[in-house]
């Protein structure tokens, strides 16, 4: 599981950093390149912007605070992934494949944006869904969001399995009485 996690983290950080380098090199700041249009309606574009904060430019003057929080979260997730006694104590079970993937995606997204904050003092964003009013984002953001969704789904599925198991055991106990 450790090898899967390390490979996934390295691959996702690589994709994030390569896409950001390509945007910096080939798309001028604030330039918009329409990728998908339906008639006169823009659906998807590449729009090179810089974000000194988090989503919706929140905390834009708090780069140091965002860096520290990101570091703490990354270290915490790495500990959960790689330190067995901590897993047992905090989540009361072994980490499964879905959690390894979800934690790895969250970690890689956090590191991808952390690299930008340290190197550039801001994050390079470039993916814009024009059909909705949504902030411009990047590949690291996608990793974090997908990782969070996978983790939530895993928790819901694990809880449902645990509840079924408890009911089955309860029914067996009732039958024995």
Supply the DSSP string of 91-154, one letter for each residue: HSS---HHHHHHHHHHHHHHHHHHHHHHHHSSEEEEEEETTS----B-HHHHHHHHHHHHHHHH
Q: Is 16 known to be catalytic?
A: no
Q: Spot the catalytic one: 116, 125, 130, 154.
A: 125
Helix/strand/coil for 31: coil
Structure confidence by residue, pLDDT tens digits, 80-124: 888 876 666 666 666 788 989 999 999 999 999 999 999 999 999
Q: Tell which wins on pLDDT, 123 or 56.
A: 123
Q: Is 130 known to be catalytic?
A: no
Residue 60 — pLDDT band, cuts 50, 70, 90?
Answer: confident
How far apart, in whole angstroms, are the C-alpha atoms of residue 57 and residue 46? Answer: 18
Would you state the pLDDT for residue 59? 73
Sign of CA dihedral 23, 25, 28, 34: negative
Structure confidence by residue, pLDDT tens digits, 137-175: 999 999 999 999 999 999 899 888 888 888 877 777 666
Q: Spot the catalytic one: 16, 130, 141, 154.
A: 141
């Amino acid at each position: 599981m450790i090898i899967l996690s390390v490979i996934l983290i390295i691959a996702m950080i690589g994709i994030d950093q390569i896409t950001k380098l390509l945007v910096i090199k080939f798309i001028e700041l604030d330039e918009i390149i329409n990728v998908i249009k339906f008639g006169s309606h823009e659906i998807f574009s590449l729009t090179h912007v810089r974000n000194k904060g988090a989503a919706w430019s929140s905390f834009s003057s708090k780069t140091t605070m965002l860096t520290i929080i990101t570091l703490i979260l990354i270290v915490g997730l790495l500990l959960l992934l790689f330190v067995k006694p901590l897993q047992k104590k905090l989540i009361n079970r072994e980490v499964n494949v879905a959690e390894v993937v979800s934690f790895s995606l969250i970690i890689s997204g956090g590191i991808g944006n952390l690299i930008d904050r340290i190197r550039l003092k801001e994050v390079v964003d470039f993916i814009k869904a024009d059909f909705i009013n949504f902030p411009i984002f990047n590949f690291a953001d996608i990793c974090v969001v997908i990782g969070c969704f996978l983790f939530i789904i895993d928790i819901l599925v694990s809880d449902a399995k645990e509840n079924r198991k408890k009911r089955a055991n309860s029914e067996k106990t009732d039958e024995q009485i």
